[in-house]
């Protein structure tokens, strides 16, 4: 049996009772934290609460050489991830590999950033379109700095449909955690290069440390918010589309957005 367990958003205590029981009953415990990290804890704290030794997996262990799942043929194994157990495509692929090997799988879900974003910002969850990720720029073989434009295209499409966009921010072992500020810089750079106005005079929402006791949620115009201090990671960015009046009120009263949001809707 291979059980996928989502650990939630911030620290070791976010796990469900069902997930905790599964860990304590398991023979082997594996985890990966390259798709998402629990910033409010560390391996020592997790092992102390869970009562089990945790074996950390690299990206290669999960995506390219997941030979360790063969042990689930004979043993009860759990696989831990931040957030929910099946939000990442990587984890779905791993479950499919297990099925091909005849290994039974089980899912124990955890709190996901996709639902937390709606709750913290006040934006309605059914009004979100396709989500995207903003990667760190990289150097091409010709030593040219490459800034991908695909995230901007998705935001543009969602905006045309009046839909909100969740913008996931890159986690890189060498370049670190991307911030809301850096993501906005990159998106605004693409906009300037293309001469388009998707982000111009646009209200955006930055969220930091979702799941902690004091998460930071701030709404404001993109040009101004790129200089706002969001503090420590993890960060996530939201680009609202067309606002319902309750959403506008939430962005003003819950996320410190500009009062003109309400004035615009009243006209």
pLDDT of 236 reads 97
Say which residue, 138 or 53, is predicted with more confidence: 53
Pairing of the two strands 28-31 and 105-108:
unpaired
Cis link prior to 27 (omega < 30° from 0)? Answer: no
pLDDT, mean of residues 127-156: 91
Count of alpha carbons within 13 angstroms of residue 228, beta-carbon side: 24
* pLDDT reported for residue 218: 98
DSSP 167: E
pLDDT (tens digit per residue) in 25-76: 999 999 999 888 899 999 999 999 999 999 999 989 999 999 999 999 999 9
Rounded CA-CA distance 187/173 in Å is 22
pLDDT number for residue 263: 73
In this structure, the dihedral spanned by the alpha carbons of residues 209, 62, 68 and 20, taken in order and rounded to 10 degrees, is: 20
Q: What is the pLDDT of residue 266?
A: 43
Phi (first) and psi of residue 59, to 5 degrees: -60, -40
**Bridge partners of residue 31, in order along the sequence:** 56, 80
Q: How high is the pLDDT of residue 146?
A: 85
Q: Identify the band that residue 88 occupies on the pLDDT scale cut at 50, 70 and 90.
A: confident
Identify the band that residue 143 occupies on the pLDDT scale cut at 50, 70 and 90.
confident
* CATH 3.30.950.10 boundaries in the chain: 114-266
Instruction: Give me the architecture of the 114-266 domain, per CATH.
Output: 2-Layer Sandwich (3.30)
Predicted pLDDT at 173 = 81
Task: Considering the chain, tell me which residue range(s) the CATH 3.40.1010.10 domain(s) occupy.
Answer: 2-111
Model confidence at 230: pLDDT above 60: yes
Q: Are 159 and 201 in contact (CB under 8 A)?
A: no
First to last CA, the chain: 59
pLDDT for position 172: 86
Question: Is residue 3 scored above 80 in pLDDT?
Answer: yes
pLDDT for residue 62? 92
Judged against a pLDDT cut of 70, whether residue 171 lies above it is answered with yes
User: What pLDDT shows up at residue 260?
Assistant: 85
pLDDT(267) > 60: no
Residue 35 is predicted with a pLDDT of: 85
Phi, psi of 80 (to 5 degrees): -100, 140
Residue 265 has pLDDT above 70, yes or no: no
Give CA–CA dist 170/179, Å, rounded: 8
Share of the chain above pLDDT 90, in %: 85
Which architecture, in CATH terms, is 2-111? 3-Layer(aba) Sandwich (3.40)
CB 178 within 8 A of CB 169: yes
Asked whether residue 144 carries a pLDDT value surpassing 80, the answer given is no
Phi/psi of residue 47, nearest 5 degrees: -65, -35
Q: Give tens-digit pLDDT for 175-206.
A: 999 999 999 999 999 999 999 989 888 999 99
Task: Identify the band that residue 96 occupies on the pLDDT scale cut at 50, 70 and 90.
Answer: very high
Pairing mode, strands 171-172 and 176-177: antiparallel
């Amino acid at each position: 049996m291979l059980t996928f367990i989502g650990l939630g958003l911030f620290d070791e205590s976010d796990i469900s009772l069902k997930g905790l029981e599964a860990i304590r009953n398991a023979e082997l415990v594996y985890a990966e934290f390259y798709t998402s990290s629990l910033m409010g804890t560390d391996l020592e704290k997790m092992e102390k609460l869970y009562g089990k030794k945790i074996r950390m997996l690299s990206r290669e262990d999960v995506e390219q050489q997941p030979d360790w799942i063969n042990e689930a043929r004979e043993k009860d194994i759990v696989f831990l991830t931040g957030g929910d157990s099946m939000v990442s495509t990587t984890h779905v692929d791993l479950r499919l590999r297990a099925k091909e090997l005849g290994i039974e799988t089980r899912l124990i879900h955890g709190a996901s950033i996709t639902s937390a974003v709606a709750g913290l910002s006040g934006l309605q969850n059914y009004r979100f379109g396709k989500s995207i990720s903003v990667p760190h720029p990289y150097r091409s073989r010709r030593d040219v700095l490459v800034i991908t434009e695909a995230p901007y295209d998705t935001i543009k499409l969602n905006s045309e449909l009046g839909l909100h966009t969740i913008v996931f921010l890159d986690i890189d072992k060498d370049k670190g955690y991307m911030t809301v500020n850096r993501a906005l810089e990159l998106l605004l750079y693409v906009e300037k290069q293309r001469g388009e106005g998707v982000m111009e005079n646009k209200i955006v929402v930055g969220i930091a440390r979702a799941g902690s006791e004091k998460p930071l949620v701030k709404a404001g115009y993109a040009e101004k918010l790129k200089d706002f201090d969001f503090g420590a990671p993890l960060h996530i960015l939201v680009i609202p589309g067309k606002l319902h009046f309750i959403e506008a009120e939430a962005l003003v009263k819950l996320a410190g957005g500009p009062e003109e949001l309400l004035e615009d809707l009243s006209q």
